[in-house]
Amino acid sequence: MSRPASTWVREAAAVFAKEWRSEIRTRYALNTLALFAVNTLVVVSASLGPLGAAPGRSSETLPVLLWLILLFAAAAGLPRSFVHEEETQTATALRLAATPSALFCGKLAYALTLLAALEALVAPLFLAVMNLDVARPGLLVATLAAGGFGLAAGSTLVAAIIAQARGKGTLFAVLSFPVLLPLLLLAVELTRGAFAGGGAPGQGGFQGGLGGAGVALIQLLLYDGAVTTAGLMLFPVVWNP
């Protein structure tokens, strides 16, 4: 990169600002994400009944539902940021205006803030509706942050890939789920630990208490780092013909 770092940061910030400006004008992703997440939450909660899941199993099954809601809500809203560029044919102007890596970081920051907002909405609602007590709130927050980051990074790169293909909506789900599955498994495992406290019984995880959770959290952060690095390296070849 021949340009100075300050230009790069300014480019990334400009992309980020542009994304949010166009988002606030249309509110497409915000509406989709929030409504989708709330609808799914209502469906899940209503099907489980007024008492939530059976007490003994709730800390094992409910984390899965929480992360599935987040995953599908992300799949409904996140691909838009690249698909929109191709549909309105603004992608070429963006290719001329910004360095690919700065563009990727701007879009990633946008996806991150969007997901953070989604998690801030969904997680408290989920806990309230399901009558869940969180044994380790700090671990839950750390998991939501690290999981949300990986979700945003993986989705941003896959969105850039599918935006240039046909059948974008379904293709995003098909391509992103194998990539996001390790993240999902780790996040579910950690959320279980956060709900249940010491260990998730019968699952073999966290027998060592905090140590087990620490290992899983480090692996989740490694996943985030690996996917972000891969995104930064692969995005330029995906983006530029």
Q: Which residues are near other proteins by CB under 8 A?
A: 154, 157-158, 161-162, 164-167, 171, 174-175, 177-179, 181-183, 185-186, 189, 203-205, 219, 222-223, 226-227, 229-230, 234, 237-238, 241
Q: How far is the CB of 54 from other proteins (least distance, A)?
A: 22
CA–CA distances in Å: residue 29 to residues 4, 35, 152, 153, 163: 33, 10, 14, 17, 16
Q: Which of 174, 172, 177 is nearest to 76 (CA)?
A: 172
Q: What DSSP string runs through 131-168?
A: TPPPS-HHHHHHHHHHHHHHHHHHHHHHHHHHTTSSSH
Please say whether the beta carbons of 8 and 1 come within 8 A: yes
Q: How far is the CB of 34 from other proteins (least distance, A)?
A: 28
* Residue nearer to other proteins on the CB measure, 55 or 178: 178
Rounded Cα distance between 58 and 42, Å, is 17
* Residue nearer to other proteins on the CB measure, 37 or 159: 159
* Residue nearer to other proteins on the CB measure, 41 or 187: 187
Q: How far is the CB of 177 from other proteins (least distance, A)?
A: 7
Please say whether the beta carbons of 34 and 115 come within 8 A: no
Q: How far is the CB of 9 from other proteins (least distance, A)?
A: 25
* Residue nearer to other proteins on the CB measure, 5 or 237: 237
* Residue nearer to other proteins on the CB measure, 93 or 226: 226
Please say whether the beta carbons of 180 and 75 come within 8 A: no
Q: How far is the CB of 224 from other proteins (least distance, A)?
A: 11
